[in-house]
Structure formats: C-alpha cells, structure tokens
Amino acid sequence: MAAKAQTYKGMKDYLPREMRLRQYIVRTLTEVAERYGFEPMQTPLVEYEATLAGKLGDDEKLIYRLQYGDDRLALRYDQTVSLARVVGQYPNEITFPFRRYAYGPSYRGERQQRGRFREFFQFDLDIVGVDSRVADAEVVAVISESLARLGFTGFRTLLNHREVLSALARVSGVAPEQAGQVYRAIDKFDKVGVEGVRAELVTSGLGDDAITAILEFIVLEGTPETVLATMREALQRDEQGLKAVEDLGTVVRLLGALGVSPTAFAVAPRLARGLSYYTGIVFEAVIEQPPIGSLLGGGRYDKLIGAFAGRDVPTVGTAFGIERLQIVMTELGLAPQESSTPHVFVTVFAAEQMAESLRLARDLRAAGIPTVSALQADKLGKQLKEADAKGVRYALVLGPDELARGEVVVKDLKSGEQQSVPRAAVVEAVR
C-alpha cells in the first residue's frame, strides 16, 4: 500500500527551478565572502540540548528537541550558538580575527505564515575576536556588494548604534528600568509610524518632554554628516552616547574607503533591531520595492560568542535569509537566466544510432556544454517534447541519412529553425 506523500508542514521541497535560483544566491554570497577573506565552516544540525539551553529566552519553546538513547538533543535554532560553541571548543585551531561564513538550515517551530518556514536556510558571516570599526564597516560592505551582485539596485543599509539609543533614553530622562520599553517602541516605527510610537511611549508612562525628545530624534533623516551632527548635539551630555556617535562616524568614513556608494547607506536613529543582544553598531538593508522593508540585518554583539569560551569575544556579523532573498528576487524578476539548464538535447533516431548519439553527447560535454541525451529510441516527436519540457535550447538529430553524409541536424527549439551541420562543426554551432 502506498504511504501518503506529504512534506512536513511548515517545511518545503525545492524542485529544480527554485533550486537553481537558491544555488545562484548561495554561490554569489560565497564568492563575495571569499573575496573578503571569509573562511567556510560547518557544524552539525544536531546539538546537545544543553548547548542551546538558556540562550533563547521565550523562544526556547520553538526548539525542536529529540532524544536518542540517553542523549538529549536539539536541532539548531540558528548558526550563532554553534559558532559560540566552536569558538569555545577549538581555542588552538582558531586564530582571531576569525572571519567565517556558514551556510545551512536551522529549525524553529514557527506558526505557519507566508514567508516563515520551520526549516529555513541562512548564509551567516561574522568577524570574531576583534572590537574594530573596520570589521563593522567590512560586514556592511560585504552586504552591500552581495546585494549589488545579486542584482538589487534600490537598496540602502541603515546604520545605528545600540549605545546611541541607550544614551537617548538617558538624556530624555527615562528611568533605566523603562529603557527596554523605549527600544521596543522605537523598533515598531516602520510598522506603526511616529504616532504609533508616541502612543506606545504614552502607554509606557513617559512624560511629554521625554516623548518629544525621543520622537524628534528618531525621525532624523539626511546625509550621514547631518544626522551625526544632530545626534552629537542631542547627546552632548552623555559621554557614552558621544563615543557611539563617533564610532558611527568612523564606520561611515571607512565605508567610503571600502567603496560603498554614499547612496547605499544612511544613518538611521530609528533603527533598533530588537536590541536584546547587540552591543555596538546595528544595521539593516532595506528596499522600497516590493514594500517588504528589511532584507537582512545584523550588528555587533560582543557578549554572546564568548558564552562557551568563558569571556567576552567581540563579534560583528550578519545572516542572509535565503528564502527571503529567493522570494524577493523572484518578485523583482532578478532571477538570472537559467544558465545551468541543459543546453543541448541529443535525440536517438533508432537503437542502431544510439552509440553515435552518445558519442556526440560525450563530445559536447567534453567541450563544456551541458548536454542531455535521449535514453531510448522513442518517436522523435516525443523526444523533442521532452527536450522542450527541460527548457533545452538545441535538439540534435542524427538519422541514417545524416550519418551517411557526416552531418547532424541542429534544431533551435526557441526559433524553430533547423540546419544541417557537419559533425565536426556541431560544438561551434550550438555554443
């Protein structure tokens, strides 16, 4: 009896057409990362449950747990905790600064909704072990170059600093225990707008002056220089805040040296990124069309990666969500021509010509041309239909007449045209 064929809910199969786009995305991200000297790393998808425990707060309920014999295990929730484990586990093999990239799936028991999957793939990159503005700028430069190479045009990377928002709370007279509410309210800016944030802050019990100061600050826009100058003025009484503004200024300057176009980034005081574990710069790449907002984000988080090493290990990083890129690129028509689809289909006229057809296919492959051959001498019409279904450009026919003349019929399946070509000229004809 046939079992029911179904994919586990919230997870997805990728058939060839979608897979080709995903491969293109991962290949492009890998190339850019390698260009900047990031090195590949990979960890198992299964971790001891104890490795994840206590690191995810409320999200612990989303962990997929499993038990095998006496082993209490979990599927990884992200690649960051595993990076922290590796940094603690191989102190003699990893030298700082450690630029690493990692591509793979993670697992969360998310409620089902569009664009949210229980198995999702990320391309992470982090610079581990150095508290440096160059590192901060480099990660932003990699994001910028990656998105450009993928074909995105109208994107910008927004920059802010965790300590800028802390200082804002302080100079606005917000009590330390209320600061978290302020960050959460600011984090909703893109969804609820300035009046929405105001309402949140009122509900939090903040005074009018504090609310006014915060709202004036987070709506700041303009060139990086203008925004930084206004920030500096607003935070002038707060030493840590001024230091953070200075750091942001350094990053902005270094981005220029790294070749990031001035139109591709902006300082955005409203950027909060659920500040829970960030400790320094935060950033987020956004596009306006389609109106999905954030493409990806990241920042500096100096406390988390040392969790297993037993000391702070300063780190800055980001993670590209492959599903999101795939969805947005498809909507924007940025998916490349499927260059790796087979290019040529070699038909088989009759069983007696099979070996000749295979030899022709072999010659085309040896010349680097992706080539499919028919597997049996079906009617020619059926073979051409198969070639068409695979999206192949050229079909080749070698009947007994062609063989006798030392020729091959080259049929262009796009234009419908066909011509006889000497056997020795076929490779050139289909290139």
| Residues 111-140 close enough to bind its own copies by CB under 8 A | 118-119, 127, 130, 132, 134-135, 137-138
Where in 187-246 is the site for its own copies (CB under 8 A)? none
Interior/surface letters 50-63, b for 16+ CB within 10 angstroms, e for the rest = ebbeebeeeeeeeb
Closest approach of Cβ 252 to its own copies, in Å? 12
Stretch that binds its own copies, among 221-229, 363-371, 395-403, 419-427 (CB under 8 A): 363-371
Print the binding letters for residues 368-397 with its own copies: x by CB under 8 A, - otherwise: xxxxxxxxx---------x--xx-------
**Tokens, residue 256:** 């220029």
- Give the H or E element holding residue 190: helix 189-203
DSSP 204: T
Q: How far apart are CA 367 and CA 422, in angstroms?
A: 17
Closest approach of Cβ 384 to its own copies, in Å? 13
Q: Specify whether the CB–CB gap between 141 and 259 falls below 8 A.
A: yes
Q: How far apart are CA 270 and CA 278, in angstroms?
A: 15
Binding residue for its own copies (CB under 8 A) from 43, 204, 212, 294? 43
Closest approach of Cβ 376 to its own copies, in Å? 5
Binding residue for its own copies (CB under 8 A) from 25, 29, 47, 168? 47
Closest approach of Cβ 69 to its own copies, in Å? 7
Site size for its own copies (CB under 8 A):
101
Closest approach of Cβ 105 to its own copies, in Å? 7
Q: Identify the CA nearest to 117 among candidates 64, 66, 56.
A: 64
Residue closer to its own copies by CB (options 79, 172) is 79
Print the binding letters for residues 84-103 with its own copies: x by CB under 8 A, - otherwise: -xx-xxx--xxx-x-xx---
Residue closer to its own copies by CB (options 334, 377) is 377
DSSP 425: G
DSSP 223: -
Stretch that binds its own copies, among 1-9, 154-162, 201-209, 395-403 (CB under 8 A): 1-9
**For tokens 């085309």, what's the residue?**
364
Q: Specify whether the CB–CB gap between 210 and 172 falls below 8 A.
A: yes
Binding residue for its own copies (CB under 8 A) from 7, 92, 112, 113? 7
- Indicate the SS3 state at residue 130: coil
Q: How far apart are CA 408 and CA 19, in angstroms?
A: 33
Closest approach of Cβ 56 to its own copies, in Å? 13
Print the binding letters for residues 242-281 with its own copies: x by CB under 8 A, - otherwise: -----------xx-xxxx----------------------
Q: Specify whether the CB–CB gap between 327 and 121 falls below 8 A.
A: no
- 169 binds its own copies, rule: CB under 8 A: no
Residue closer to its own copies by CB (options 39, 209) is 39
Closest approach of Cβ 310 to its own copies, in Å? 4
Closest approach of Cβ 196 to its own copies, in Å? 34
In this structure, what are the phi and psi dihedrals at residue 258, rounded to the nearest 5 degrees?
A: -80, 0
Measured at the CA of 26, the angle between CA 430 and CA 16, to 5 degrees, comes to 55
Closest approach of Cβ 340 to its own copies, in Å? 5
Length of the chain: 431
Count CB neighbours of 42 within 10 A.
12
Closest approach of Cβ 106 to its own copies, in Å? 11
Where in 291-350 is the site for its own copies (CB under 8 A)? 307-310, 340-342
Residue closer to its own copies by CB (options 68, 176) is 68
Binding residue for its own copies (CB under 8 A) from 65, 149, 382, 405? 65
Interior/surface letters 255-269, b for 16+ CB within 10 angstroms, e for the rest = beeeebeeebbbbbb
Residue closer to its own copies by CB (options 34, 288) is 34
- 37 binds its own copies, rule: CB under 8 A: yes
Binding residue for its own copies (CB under 8 A) from 26, 56, 60, 109? 109
Residue closer to its own copies by CB (options 75, 285) is 75
Using only the alpha carbons of the chain, give its radius of gyration.
Answer: 28
Residue closer to its own copies by CB (options 104, 196) is 104
Interior/surface letters 115-139, b for 16+ CB within 10 angstroms, e for the rest = eebbbbbbbbbbbbbeebbebbbbb
What is the sign of the dihedral through the CA atoms of 409, 410, 414 and 415?
Answer: negative
